[in-house]
Structure 1
Amino acid sequence: MNNDDLIRKLKESDATIENLRDELAQTHSGLLALTLELEQRVDERTAQLQARAHQQAVVAIVGQKALANSNLNELMNETVISVLHTLEVEYCIILACSDDKDILEIKAGVCQEGTEMDTLLSINSSNQYTKLTRFYNKSVVFESLQNETDFKIPEILNNRGIISGMSALISGADQALGFLEIYSNEKHVFTSDDIHFMESIANVLAGAIERKQTEDHLKYYSMHDSLTNLYNRTYFEEEMNRLINGRLNSVGIIMCDIDGLKLINDTLGHNYGDRLLSATADILRESFRSCDVIARIGGDEFVILLPNVNESILESFSRRIRTVIDNYNIANPELPLSLSIGFAVDPNGSNKMNGLLKEADDKMYRQKLQHRQSSRSAIVHTLMEALAERDFITQGHADRLRHLVREVAIAIGLPENKIGDLQLLAQFHDIGKVGIPDSILFKPTFLVPEEIIEIQRHSEIGYRIAMAAPDLVPVADWILKHHEWWNGQGYPLGLKGEEIPMECRILAIADAYDAMTNHRPYRQALFTYEVIAELEKCAGHQFDPELVPKFLEVLHNKEIILK
């Protein structure tokens, strides 16, 4: 190798070394930048993990307080402070749904030092993202309210410089309970951790609110009657003991009892009885002062405890009850209400409350004895009118039956006094159907087994009604048995043959004849020859086999069939 070649190779080596030096410098710079970037990422991740851990710790602390603290207001006040500082925002509030779901009430709120509190108190009035939170059933985040297009920014937010915010739904098992909301005067980028934190706090609050609602519900019904929402016997007795141990100038007690409630329950059903109980509660609430204790202490018994009264005041209250009842009965003639009332007063407040209660109860009971028959008669009269309105006595049905059974009774030689009772049975044998729903009575198709069982109750219902009405007592037993069959397959007692009263056997044939020859909701009237064939077919099964020929003979002799 000559000198020139050697010099050339050395120069090439120098260039290579220089290139390597440059590459090493670039690599070092890249590694330095990468290291800085990795350190930054580590710092950010560490900060994120620390923030997440802090948020989780706050959720745990709030959860522990929710379990340990029965004071819901205190829990909410502490919670908004924790959320405010954790997310570093200017405002945090808790809104609760009222019974009117469109109205929200601020239950707790806090703002950073130097921020006006009235902002906090007024931003909920037209807060549309609260509505969106409920609509979407999840948290709604706004990083810049000015850029939002989904809804119009509430003016109060715009004027106060609110820029960003978040609303988390506080959701119960089957309804919205409220909202946990935060606001900031800066553009705030809320992370997924922030959203999860808000939702976790909202879930803790939901559990606390529901527990409080359950406690309040149990406490309320430990002192109140569930049907009327009046105080119950337990609360009344506590109030009596309180008055015994207290000092009053005078105290009075008024006892009230609904007349004929058992008859209503037995005939029309407990739904109608409950209506009377609720109406009585409303009447008593309307009649007395806010300081008076009104309680339902038994099935049909109500009592009012009145502090600082005299006998004339109690008399005026009793008259007021009567007036309100009269007005009620005018507005509700289909189910009249009657109350027996008794009262007693201790003008000296001598603390003999049990004796005072017994005196009022005795007076009420004496009045009830006087009312008993008149109230039952009024109820039965109302039931008879209801029967007529429901087409069981109208459209000639009762008149046709009365005529038919009279002709048959004469033909078989029944005495006149029994014929009169038989005609009374013909008119009111179906009075028990006032206790059967119209949906069954007027059903245009055939009844299902459950509906058949329900309609068969009308015989027993009618018996109870008749036993309560002096005019119907003679036929009450026949009303009970008028659907018994000759072969024992009828109802409700399963009587057979001559165990069934003659009057019931006569009515059964006449009623079946009239039913088949007239239209019913579920079918058209049958032809005469079809009716006769059906009666003859059922003789010995449903009907008395000796009475069916007599009945058909009467029809032919009197030309009733032709008519």
Structure 2
Amino acid sequence: MYSFLICFAGLGLFIFNITDKAFRFSPADWGWITAMSGSAVLLTVFTFQLPPQGNGLSLDSSVYLACIFIFGPSFALLVLLLSSLVLVFIEWGTTLLWKHLNNFAIYCILISSAAFIFTLSGGRQGPLLGSHLPAYASAMLVYFSLNLLLVGIFYYLMFHENLYTTLKDMLTDAVLAYLCTLVLSLVLTVLLYYNGMTGLALFLGLSILISYSFKRLFSMYRSIEERANRDQRTGLYNHSYFEAALEEEMRRSEASGQALSLAMIDIDDFKKYNDHFGHLKGDGLIVFLADLLTKETASTGIIVSRYGGEEFTLLLPGYDAAQAKVFIEQLRKLLNNSIFEGTEIFPQGCLAFSAGIAGYQPDVHFKSELVDHADQALYYAKKQGKNMVHIYGNQSSLERDIDFSQDVRDIEQQLNLFMYKDLETFKHSKRVFRYAMDISELLQLDNPARRQFTLGALIHDIGKLEIPWGILNKKDKLLPEEWEMVKWHVTWGKEMALTNDKYKELAPYIELHHERYDGKGYPYGFKGEEIPRLCRMLTIIDSFDAMTTERPYQPTKSFNEAIAELRACAGTQFDPELTELFIGYIEARELRPIGAAIS
């Protein structure tokens, strides 16, 4: 529809400016039209790319602008028509006809608009005049702005990019080159008017040299970028590139809804091989696997990186977790059947790797979360005997219960430190954990989300271990500086969780449980959907238990008073939908005889 509207507007402007005017040009004028058309074609052929994104740009616009300034819009549009027909012939079979038509229509809009503004601003066709500089500047500004806007909207519609971001990136990349193009149009105006064909030849020579220079610059940029993004030993992308690519692919997946999976691969018993044969042979094994991954993922769109040591990552756009597992299993079996020196020392009797897979979900807000999920799945695959591929969250029910119980015991061991420092915080954490267990059933969470939510609820106040005893147990109202120290517990707790690979995924629950729905919470001031859904629910549970339990620095509320407070703060402090869900749970729970005894 957008292309149709562009074509309709462009062709309409072309007909409006050309009707009956083309027959008024003399044979000499047509000679100039042909020469200028050839120049535009030549400059289009010498299109160059701009770093860092590689957006294409040609200097043919300088020809059209110069035609406007000297001969007028009708002349410029005929030059455009002839050059477009030649390009259709040159690119026949390689570029779709509708793209040529769309491009022609855009140029018609640019030329017609620039000519209109030029005349409106007092510009007159002919030699370059200093008194008309505002008219030249206005015409060039309109030409540049419309070009940026029309192409930006096209990319926005085609690739579902954010329009502001798209325009900003295009402006950043192309502004200097566009300025160069616009200045060259004034240079061509002077050369054409006073030097004729000689001036045109000089201009083409200068423009071609500039285009060639930009091509060389882009080639050098890509070469340096390639070296910076590649692991020197394996030739795969390095960790830094992987981080950037993961962030970009997560953003695309969120915008388009396309599936995305991340696989982490670790060579089994690599240390044993390295110790037995030496580091040189060990490096050879790493390169062998890298070559296999490169070959098997060629033309698939999968991004393979060396994560570090003997670990590799595969970023799989368009693959859900199940499809990713099928692909990684094929790689694993292929490696098992590969011949390599020294495989007899491996317990499996062959080359093998373990792999963990995590599928991207909309509630995964940080790339570190997806990496942690894949890393935990990899850890589980290793724990099950190696030479396995495991999807995050796909343990058996019994294995999940055993692992979950062990995690609860481990966290409780750390919380026991509160027994001497702040018994109320210990008891509060246990109560919030029990609430979270019930809510996870009410929300029908899948197993990974249930584990994260309940363990996150249990450990959410761990950072209070860093708060001095005197502040934690103070009976009076906290001073402003003491309150600021209390607020730091979310950051301290996050840092404590990040020291243990098993609890990295719990960091958001620790760090974000004091964010508010209206954006007035801490530590970041996240608002609404920026806060993960289960973190928003944890905020409600945490606040309800704090209100209904005796605390050193605030009076205790009854359940009914606490429910009224939750409703009063719904939409400001708390997510309104989750608030009503929790209130419904509390009211139903209090009607049960056993429920009244739990507090």
Structure with more of its chain in strand, by fraction: 1
What's the TM-score once normalised by structure 1's chain length?
0.31
Compare the two structures and name the one with the higher helix fraction. Answer: 2
* Structure with greater Cα Rg: 1
